[in-house]
Structure 1
Amino acid sequence: MDKVGGFDKRLRRVEDWDLWMRMAYAGCKMGWVEEIVCAYRMFPGQMTRNAAAQKKVTVGVMNKFFDQPGLSDDLLALKSDVLTRVYLVCAGREYGADQCDDAQESIAEAIKLTPALATSRQDELIDSLLSWTTNPFVGDPIDYTMRVFNNLPDNAAAIKQKKRWALGEIGLRTFFTAKKNEDWSTVRRAGQVVAANAPARMWNRGVVSILLQSMMHRQPQS
């Protein structure tokens, strides 16, 4: 650590990434242990507060690394791909924080760096965004999915064609998760989303059985 200068105390975020990249470039061997060594207490409001600052610092750290003199051509060739992934992660976080204008900018930047994300690699972009639906700080996964597809930048317009497919997939997963948690109102809502976007899935006997259970647990109106 002394050789590469230790933690950059000017950074408020991703200072660990910055250090790891400098250590790796200096030839330090990396490894990991398959156990939890620390834990963070996190709160829903953190996503809203951190999204914009996280993007600014992360992009800055990556640019600082790739802009240093003496990098090999092989490393420089990775810059676009690395920044693309950074912007995709930032977009997911921003959609989760309901900062849709910032998310659109992040998606637009990712596609500028990797145009195939809007064409032959659409699934990669969609998978990256939908991976956030399992993050508890995103909130309702169905609402998050609708927010994504209703707020895409112009250069991602073609991806809107996958909206019904995405809602069907996320709706079905939410359906089964809600059943496991005995959250019957969410079961019914998710079932409606699946019926509207992937009606063929509703003919599954397991789905029908769960829907009937949810009706039995409906609270009587006063």
Structure 2
Amino acid sequence: MSTATRKPQVSAIVPAYNSACYIGQAVESILNQTYPDCEIIVVDDGSTDDTRSVLQPYCSRIRYIYQENQGVAAARNRGIQEARGELIAFLDHDDFFLPDKLAAQVASFEAQPQLGIVHSGWRRVDWRGEPLGDVEPWQKAPNLDLEDWVRWKPILLSAMMVRREWLERVGGLDTRFQQVCDLDLALRLTLMGCQSTWLHQITVCYREHDRNESRKTPLQAQESWTVLDNFFALPQIPQPIRQLESHYRYYTLVWSAWRLYHTGYISEMVPYLEKSLSYTPYSLTKTVSDWLKSFMRYTSECGGELDVFSLSNSRQWQQLMNYLLKF
């Protein structure tokens, strides 16, 4: 087959850490793809459980790399360094692809060669893999341009495919971040001119369980703020984005506050809402109303319903309302 007509090879990178429970299903979901030209790279980031032995039956069909524990960003970077594919698909060890994931995203790249990122929707599943609900981020962020990335942060690396040349140009993921290295990557890529588009399709299942790294929400909230600090410190930020910096910071603080509340860190929620008062575009009364509306919307997007009575009658919320009386 000539180079001109050859389909791009995909490298699927799976960072693994103590992932014996789920890594088999992750690997199987790549092996069962309808797109055949894919190499699988599993980077074991210092697992101390049975991850290696679970992967043993796949040894002839995957590239297994072991390294001392350095964090998920370093594991992904190692995978990028080892990859031979033109396109990179990331898959967290506890998630799994739907069968047409790679084929559909490769087709998007072939149809639009200028693209650097093809993003898609995802299905939330429980620890057993049973569906909880579908997430279609393009409903809120239809353009997936720099403004959408900064405002909405519609990030799930397992739902994305990225041209390797862009990952190399940007220098890979920032290993200083444990929770938001994916968001930081998307912002840096887009700012460099990397074009993104949506594939309006659910392509991956995101597993929610009590050991999710994403449940480390205090660190996630802290790192999200640092990413914004780093982003807005750059001199090349377009002026329309810079003019809305306060708005973006407000949205980030409210979203972080909701994440903290949603995962049981209600006391940690309070400082983020207090800090949002320095950036709110609304009056004090409308700001409080917006907090509640935002909490209800985010909870609904996760398939739940906010217990407004429980929140508003909590000790922490009452203390927050007393704090607002000073304004």
- Common fold by TM > 0.5: yes
Residue 8 of structure 1: which of 174, 186, 189 is its match?
A: 174
Superposition pairs of residues 192-203 of structure 1, within 5 angstroms? none
Query: Aligned equivalents of 2:264 and 2:283: distance in 1?
Result: 22
What is the alpha-carbon distance in structure 1 between the residues aligned to residue 172 and residue 298 of structure 2?
A: 32
Find 2:310's aligned residue among 129, 141, 146.
Answer: 146
Secondary structure at the aligned position of 1:38 is classed as: strand
Spell out, residue by residue over 1:123-172, the C-alpha distance to the aligned partner (whole angstroms, 9 max, x if none).
4322111224436697x743x652245333247748xxxxxxxxxxxxxx
State the AA in 2 paired with 1:10.
R
Aligned to 1:36: 202
Q: Which of the pair is proportionally richer in helix?
A: 1
1:95 counterpart letter in structure 2: Y
Q: For each residue in 1:93-114, what CA deviation from the matched residue of structure 2 results, as whole angstroms up to 9, or x when unmatched?
A: 1112332221111111112211
Relative to structure 1, is the Cα distance of residues 4 and 47 closer, same or farther in structure 2, using a 3 angstrom cutoff?
Answer: closer
Aligned partner letter, 1:37: T
Name the amino acid aligned to 2:200. Answer: E
Q: State the match for 2:297 in structure 1.
A: 131
Structure 1 letter corresponding to 2:257: A
Aligned-residue RMSD, C-alpha: 2.9
For residue 61 of structure 1, report the CA deviation from its aligned partner: 0.8
Instruction: Tell me the secondary structure at the aligned position of residue 195 of structure 2.
Output: coil
User: Is contact 2:173-2:182 (8 Å) kept?
Assistant: yes
> Relative to structure 1, is the Cα distance of residues 86 and 156 closer, same or farther in structure 2, using a 3 angstrom cutoff?
farther
> CA 1:5 to 1:127, structure 2 compared with 1: closer, same or farther past 3 Å?
same
Look up the match of 1:107: 273
Say whether the 8 Å CA contact 1:83–1:110 is kept in structure 2. Answer: yes
Q: Report what 2:216 is aligned to.
A: 50
* Equivalent residue runs for 1:170-185 within 5 Å: none
What TM-score, normalized by structure 2, do the two folds share?
0.42
Of 222, 225, 242 in structure 2, the residue corresponding to residue 59 of structure 1 is: 225
Match of residue 259 from structure 2? 93
Q: What is the alpha-carbon distance in structure 2 between the residues aligned to residue 148 and residue 91 of structure 1? A: 14
| Distance in 1 between residues matched to 2:176 and 2:303, nearest whole Å | 28
Aligned partner of residue 33 in structure 1, secondary structure: strand
- For structure 1, the residue ranges without an aligned partner over 5 or more in a row are 159-222
Q: CA deviation at 1:117?
A: 5.3
1:120–1:154 CA distance, 2 compared to 1 (3 A): closer
Structure 2: runs of 5+ lacking an equivalent: 1-165
Deviations 1:50-106 (A, max 9, x none): 110110111111111111223343222222111111111111111123322211111
How many residue pairs get aligned? The number is 156
Distance in 2 (alpha carbons) for counterparts of 1:79 and 1:31: 24
The answer to whether the Cα contact below 8 Å between 2:221 and 2:256 also exists between their aligned partners in 1 is yes
Write the distance in 2 (CA, Å) between the matches of 1:19 and 1:81.
21
Distance 1:149 1:115 in 2: 26
Q: Distance in 2 between matches of 1:125 and 1:112?
A: 14
Q: CA deviation at 1:116?
A: 1.7
Match of 1:79 among 245, 258, 266: 245
Structure 2 vs 1, CA of residues 117 and 133 (structure 1 numbering), >3 Å: closer, same or farther? farther
**Alpha-carbon separation, structure 2, partners of 1:33 and 1:48:** 24
TM-score, L = length of structure 1? 0.59
Equivalent pair of 2:260/2:269 in contact (CA under 8 Å): yes
